[in-house]
Structure 1
Amino acid sequence: MMNFKKSLLCVTAGAVLSLSATAAETTLRVATWLPPTNPQNETVWPIWAKWVEEATEGRVEVIVENYTGHPKTIFDAVEDGVYDVGFSVNAYLPGRFSLTSVAEIPGEITDAETGSVALWRTYKNYFESAGEYDGLQLLALFVHGPGQLHTKFPVNSLDDLKGKKMRVGGGLINDLAERLEVTPVAAPAPKSYEMMQQGVVDGTFLPVQEQKFLRLSEISSDLTLFPRGLYTTAFSVVMNVDTFESLSKKDQDAIISVSGEKLSRLAGAAWGKADENGILEAKSNGVNVVFLAEDDQRVKDLNKLAKGIDQLWMDSVKDRDVDVEAGLAAFRQYVKDINSEK
């Protein structure tokens, strides 16, 4: 099922985790780009692999391999058949997966699990017909926990951010960064440690978990936590279409049964729980952790600055042949419904 090019690249990639010791008819090679301790590698992939192997009665196994290129190229690597499955940040490819940025609007979600399930439901019910994933088999959508401020300086006022160099990852956080009057420096998340250590940036926008998993607690002096964060980031889990179609209908259905909303919820819950570990790591390393209340002036000022970003998003996707206004309203309702179920 694998061509020569794919076989060669997979051999040289260096497997970091094999999740099945039994012989299988099909092996799915998954590209991952974050540290082994990241919840995607520590929790999500092992559980999903187990689900896949059980659902297919051992006919399909999953092997996770380290991807050393820029994470934005994973989508192409999967589409071209270099890997069977992968995941990455949607905003790393501006303009391709724009509809999923509905989840990135500041202040929309309360936690990663809620946001992930709401995003999947919104996509399936309102956005799928736009064809943004043509050429890929979409398996799941998820978001990380609310993005917060990891800095080398205290943030006593939003004015303290003006002129500061801040690492950004793309998406609607770029619009918010502009309103905060920071100097944005685009880079993937794993570059944050190096850039802060070397003084290339004064801080980064990331979820709290990265105090531990990207070791930001070693180089941050302050961690400022807004009640709903400043933003979040949408991720896609995708599969090569030819690989998927080469499976029997029975195994296709089995994989779909353990993906979709189920996998989206798993990923969101795992990434969200990891934020708790990030706070503990920050405190243990002496980082000044500041929890802001809704009535804090910094929160009020942020809410004012973020006003209208939802319209910016709608304007950016008006060329899609879907009802984006209805999709946004549905996303917000899904967030409320999911929270009420907890």
Structure 2
Amino acid sequence: MTNMKKSILLGACVGLLGLSSFASATTTLHVATWLPPTSAQNAVVWPTWKKWVENATQGRVKVVIENYTGAPKTIFDAVEDGVYDVGFTVNTYLPGRFKLTSVAEIPGEITSAEAGSVALWRTYDKYFKPAKEFQGLELLALFVHGPGQLQTAFPVNSLDDLKGKKMRVGGGLVNELAARLEVTPISAPAPKSYELMQQGVVDGTFLPAEQQMTLRLSEVSTDLTLFPKGLYTTAFSIVMNEDTFADLSKKDREAIMSVSGEKLSKLAGTAWGEADKEGIQAAVKDGVNVVHLSKDDPRVTDLNKVVEGMDQMWIDSVADRKIDAKAALDYFRENMNALSQ
């Protein structure tokens, strides 16, 4: 074989090897997560989405879930800056940036985390997207936890029992609720609740029932008071770095979104809602006084009076967003009603 033929053959082999390597190249998405392994997000949502993404992209995109040790509110920056590719956190941990999704925080609107999560995503898609609150990030999903309840180190026989008590709050409309209930609000992320209650810094916390298990609040609570529609709800976002998303092939972007959006929102809402049952079971097992209030209970009727006008407060709070807030709220409620039947 002549030297020229050898060179051509060698070049062809190298080219084929290069093509083979290119074809088998994968993208790895590093996901930041911050709750305990027992949380619905880490036990159900992330593993399921990982499987969905890897199957939808036929293995071209891999997902690696990593523990985030920073403050939960910094995840938005960590993803936006490319430190992580994907993450989730509470929208109200960044006051003023994500006003619109607080429509899901209005007391008395949500009885089901699954329905609330789907309704929130649909409302964002139809009304909120033009406001570009998530500019700099690629929004993958929105979801809510189950109805927020009272987890306390004292019995709540009437709403007057709350007056003057120190209660952990996470921000958003729950802060207004706290003011109306005349409690002393202590702002802190949810994972701090155990430490704050154990040390007596707070007398209780506003959180969904699942945190009796996930954050082990059954160890530091004496009472879990469950309102039929809760006291409030919290909105979460699942976001991706926009450059990471843009660098993916069109085929893989479409594949990822086919298992995100409403589908991922529903998955997260369902998982978090189901976890409430486990939280109540943990509370009963550990001897917490679990009180299920009926809709006619004076504490419930009094709460209904306390929260009057908070829907209009949300409308007023987003006046600078140039969207039809009243129509968005009506649409959110329509979806909630339809999905809750």
Query: TM-score, normalized by length of structure 2?
Result: 0.93
1:48 is matched with 49
2:154 is matched with 153
Q: Which amino acid is the alignment partner of residue 145 of structure 2?
A: H
Contact 2:150 2:204 in 1 (8 A): yes
Q: For the structure 1 residues 24 and 290, does the alpha-carbon distance in structure 2 shift closer, same or farther, using more than 3 Å as the test? A: farther
**Higher radius of gyration, 1 or 2:** 2
Could you tell me which runs of 5 or more consecutive residues in structure 1 were left unpaired when the two chains were aligned: 1-22
2:19 is matched with none
- Give me the whole-angstrom Cα distance separating, in 2, the residues matched to 1:58 and 1:228: 42
Query: Where in structure 2 are the equivalents of 1:151-300 lying within 5 Å?
Result: 151-300=152-301
Q: For the structure 1 residues 167 and 24, does the alpha-carbon distance in structure 2 shift closer, same or farther, using more than 3 Å as the test? A: farther
For residue 24 of structure 1, report the CA deviation from its aligned partner: 5.7
For residue 208 of structure 1, report the CA deviation from its aligned partner: 0.2
- Give me the whole-angstrom Cα distance separating, in 2, the residues matched to 1:178 and 1:311: 17
SS at match of 2:38: coil
Q: Which amino acid is the alignment partner of residue 96 of structure 1?
A: R
- Give me the whole-angstrom Cα distance separating, in 2, the residues matched to 1:336 and 1:157: 29
Contact 1:137 1:239 in 2 (8 A): yes
Q: Which amino acid is the alignment partner of residue 214 of structure 1?
A: L
Contact 1:177 1:184 in 2 (8 A): yes
1:311 aligns with 2:312: yes
Q: Which amino acid is the alignment partner of residue 306 of structure 2?
A: L
For residue 339 of structure 1, report the CA deviation from its aligned partner: 1.6
Q: Which amino acid is the alignment partner of residue 187 of structure 1?
A: A
Contact 1:24 1:60 in 2 (8 A): no
1:4 is matched with none
Q: Let me know the Cα RMSD of the aligned residues.
A: 0.7
1:98 is matched with 99
1:66 is matched with 67
2:12 is matched with none
Percent same amino acid at aligned positions?
Answer: 72
- Give me the whole-angstrom Cα distance separating, in 2, the residues matched to 1:277 and 1:328: 31
- Give me the whole-angstrom Cα distance separating, in 1, the residues matched to 2:265 and 2:65: 18
SS at match of 2:320: coil
For residue 316 of structure 1, report the CA deviation from its aligned partner: 0.7
Contact 1:24 1:58 in 2 (8 A): no
2:9 is matched with none
SS at match of 1:181: coil
- Give me the whole-angstrom Cα distance separating, in 2, the residues matched to 1:210 and 1:110: 17
For residue 337 of structure 1, report the CA deviation from its aligned partner: 1.1
The runs of at least 4 aligned residues of structure 1 exceeding 3 Å deviation read none
- Give me the whole-angstrom Cα distance separating, in 2, the residues matched to 1:165 and 1:111: 28
- Give me the whole-angstrom Cα distance separating, in 2, the residues matched to 1:171 and 1:333: 23
1:286-330: CA deviation from partner (whole Å, max 9, x where unpaired):
000000000000000000000001111111100001101100000
SS at match of 1:95: coil
SS at match of 1:239: strand
Contact 1:24 1:61 in 2 (8 A): no
1:332 is matched with 333
SS at match of 1:96: coil
Q: Which amino acid is the alignment partner of residue 337 of structure 1?
A: A
1:171-204: CA deviation from partner (whole Å, max 9, x where unpaired):
1000000000000000000000000000000000
Q: Which amino acid is the alignment partner of residue 153 of structure 1?
A: F
- Give me the whole-angstrom Cα distance separating, in 1, the residues matched to 2:328 and 2:34: 31
Contact 2:143 2:269 in 1 (8 A): yes
- Give me the whole-angstrom Cα distance separating, in 2, the residues matched to 1:186 and 1:114: 28
Contact 2:49 2:259 in 1 (8 A): yes
2:8 is matched with none
Q: Which amino acid is the alignment partner of residue 174 of structure 1?
A: N
Query: TM-score, normalized by length of structure 1?
Result: 0.92
Query: Where in structure 2 are the equivalents of 1:66-145 lying within 5 Å?
Result: 66-145=67-146
- Give me the whole-angstrom Cα distance separating, in 1, the residues matched to 2:111 and 2:35: 24
- Give me the whole-angstrom Cα distance separating, in 2, the residues matched to 1:264 and 1:245: 22
Could you tell me which runs of 5 or more consecutive residues in structure 2 were left unpaired when the two chains were aligned: 1-23
Q: For the structure 1 residues 187 and 24, does the alpha-carbon distance in structure 2 shift closer, same or farther, using more than 3 Å as the test? A: farther
- Give me the whole-angstrom Cα distance separating, in 2, the residues matched to 1:59 and 1:129: 31
2:27 is matched with 26
